[in-house]
Amino acid sequence: SPSLQPEAPARALPHVVIFPFPIQGHVNSMLKLAELLILCLQRDDDLRITFLNSEHNHNRLLHCSDVTSRFSNHPTFRFKTIPDGLPSETARSKDNLLEVFNNLKLRARDVLAELMAPSDDQPPPTCIIADGFMSFMIDAGEEFGLPVVMFRTISACCFWAYFCIPRLIEAGELPIQGNQDMDRIVTSVPGTDGLLRCRDLPGFCRVADLSDPQLQNITLQTSQTTRAQGLILNTFEALEGPILNQIRAHCANIYTVGPLNAHLKSRLPAASQFPIRQSSNSLWEEDRSCLIWLDKQPVRSVVYVSFGSLAVLEREELTEFGHGIVNSNYRFLWVLRPDSVGSHDHIDAELQAATEERGCIVEWAPQEEVLAHPAIGGFLTHSGWNSTIESITAGVPMVCWPYFADQQVNSRFVSEAWKVGLDMKDRCDRTVVKTMINDLMVEKRDDLSRSVFAKANQAKEAVSVGGSSWDNMNRLIENILSMGG
């Protein structure tokens, strides 16, 4: 009789820990994934979500954006913080990324042990979605018997270039032999068919000494991905299909769920029960006055200029971009973070005058709303992956000046594979800037617009019901819920 049946073990409540590497581009996309998880839950699904953010970034997030109001009304979501090991007053920059990485690596296991402790006010985690840059979370997950899904916040094409670094070294294609070698085509990145020159490889490859700690670290992190339960990417099949198929031979379970910004929009109407308003996850205060300025500009007349959250321009680079933009004679909206060029009160008089006449300079903008604004005609970008996919989603063509890391690969694919922009690459010269802005806004506008609008439509299809990203997100949810045992 039923009474004799052994009690079925209580099903652990599904509880996912989401842990981004604490820099803007990563926090932004992984917080979007958290929002998406909430929006995709059906009424009877019960999922706990713990978002593990660095103390430094958590305080800035709460101070600068309405994250609390978007999440606090969702009972099963909570923030937990982890110290990144730097003094609170220290500026986080590309120069201390490795130090932050090593600090988090030291602390991650203990934080996970805390979350697993029965004393914690939530049931223990049943799954971890960790930033693919932090493969040490796979070891931590194994220690506690937790499946780990990696979320790599870069493009598939750059992930694949990182994955192929050992082959490039084995084939003698790395190290790069100085500037004269930069245009050599590399052949050890399968599926790129002669597209990549040395100068298009990830910025970390531009070292003479292959024992460089950043190159070693990024190569190790990427190679460990094969141990994860799955790999989440903020991209879509129609954009990076051929490269995704190369990766699948090594990481079989890939969830392409992007573009995340577009995916959130497509899920929002279905989320009547969770009034989460899609907004940005900025760590800096957004200056919304630029949207009022844009409202007064003619359609597609403005060049939007932004180099992301980490790039730091040399004074000479700022001067060359300033003169190039001014000499192009186009209206411009330029984001100049206070920490991006020392103190930017050194903007020369010519740029100052042009700004009064036809420009707007802000320290941080609501970028997704800017890119969606009809006055925007083109985007001068550093080719960070979030900026790149946001620009494609908005149907805005780009001029790319990659700064470091994955940006060199992204800019090459933007110009030569997807044809949605022009790659300035290593040239930072006022004449080149002026010429490429003119190509973007006039000479090559028609071809670029046709391509980028086609990609924007494919992105929209991917995140609509039955689209590849829509279906992958449903599959990810099912798998996370099933990990509850």
Which residues make up the interface to ligand UDX (CB under 6 A)?
A: 23-26, 28, 153-154, 280, 282, 306, 308-310, 335, 364-365, 367-368, 384-387, 390, 405-407
In the bound state with ligand UDX, the residue whose beta carbon lies nearer, of 319 and 367, is 367
Least distance between ligand UDX and beta carbon 30 (Å): 11
Q: At what angle do helices 213-223 and 97-116 cross, to 10 degrees?
A: 40
Q: Which of 414, 420, 429 is nearest to 454 (CA)?
A: 420
In the bound state with ligand UDX, the residue whose beta carbon lies nearer, of 225 and 387, is 387
Least distance between ligand UDX and beta carbon 15 (Å): 27
Asked if residue 370 lies in contact with residue 290, where contact means CB atoms within 8 angstroms, the answer is yes
Pairing verdict, β 15-19 and 48-54: parallel
Least distance between ligand UDX and beta carbon 335 (Å): 4
Asked if residue 387 lies in contact with residue 311, where contact means CB atoms within 8 angstroms, the answer is no
Least distance between ligand UDX and beta carbon 307 (Å): 8
For tokens 């954006």, the residue is: 65
Asked if the bond preceding 338 is cis, omega within 30° of 0, the reply is no
Least distance between ligand UDX and beta carbon 260 (Å): 9
For tokens 């990990």, the residue is: 483
Pairing verdict, β 48-54 and 77-82: parallel
In the bound state with ligand UDX, the residue whose beta carbon lies nearer, of 120 and 317, is 317
Question: Facing residues of 230 across strands?
Answer: 149
Cα gap 432→376, rounded to integer Å: 21
Task: Specify the amino acid at residue 204.
Answer: F
Least distance between ligand UDX and beta carbon 26 (Å): 5
CA atoms within 13 A on the CB side of 240: 29
Question: Facing residues of 53 across strands?
Answer: 81
In the bound state with ligand UDX, the residue whose beta carbon lies nearer, of 53 and 282, is 282
Asked if residue 139 lies in contact with residue 228, where contact means CB atoms within 8 angstroms, the answer is no
Pairing verdict, β 331-335 and 302-306: parallel
Neighbours of 122 (CB within 10 A): 15
Least distance between ligand UDX and beta carbon 464 (Å): 22
Cα gap 170→159, rounded to integer Å: 18
Asked if residue 302 lies in contact with residue 377, where contact means CB atoms within 8 angstroms, the answer is yes
Cα gap 399→280, rounded to integer Å: 23
Asked if residue 13 lies in contact with residue 484, where contact means CB atoms within 8 angstroms, the answer is yes
Q: Measured over all CA atoms, what is the biggest interatomic distance in the chain, rounded to whole angstroms?
A: 89
Neighbours of 252 (CB within 10 A): 10
Least distance between ligand UDX and beta carbon 318 (Å): 16
DSSP-derived letter for residue 118 is T
In the bound state with ligand UDX, the residue whose beta carbon lies nearer, of 48 and 455, is 455
Please list the active-site residues: 26, 131
Tokens read off for 148: 């780990």
